Amino acid sequence: MKKLAAIGFCFALAVPAAHAVEWKESLSHSTSGVSKLIVFAGPGDLKIEAKSGLSQVTAVLKISYPGDKAVAETYISKSMDKYLKKNGKKLTLKAGYLKKIKTKDKKAKIDLVIQMPDGIYLDVRDTTGDIEVAGLKKGGRILDGAGDLTLSNSSGKLITVNDGSGKLIISGTSGKLKINDKRDDISVSQHRGELVINDKKGNILVEDVEGRVRVSDKAGDISLNRIQGKVKITNKSGDIQLSSIMGNVELKDGKGNVQIQDVRGNLNVKSDKSGKLAVQGVTGTVKGVNPQT
CA nearest neighbour of 126 among 38, 7, 214 = 38
**Where is 68: in which H helix or E strand?**
none
**pLDDT digit string, tens, across residues 204-240:** 999 999 999 999 999 999 999 999 999 999 998 999 9
- Least reliable range by pLDDT among 92-101, 168-177, 268-277: 268-277
Q: Which residue has the higher pLDDT, 192 or 255?
A: 192
pLDDT value for 293: 41
Distance (Å, whole) CA 27 – CA 5: 7
pLDDT value for 290: 58
**pLDDT digit string, tens, across residues 51-106:** 999 999 999 999 999 988 889 889 999 999 999 999 999 999 999 999 999 988 89
pTM score, two decimals?
0.89
Instruction: Provide the CB-side half-sphere exposure for 146 (13 A, CA).
Output: 3
Average pLDDT, the chain: 90
DSSP 209-242: EES-EEEEESSS-EEEEEEES-EEEEEEES-EEE
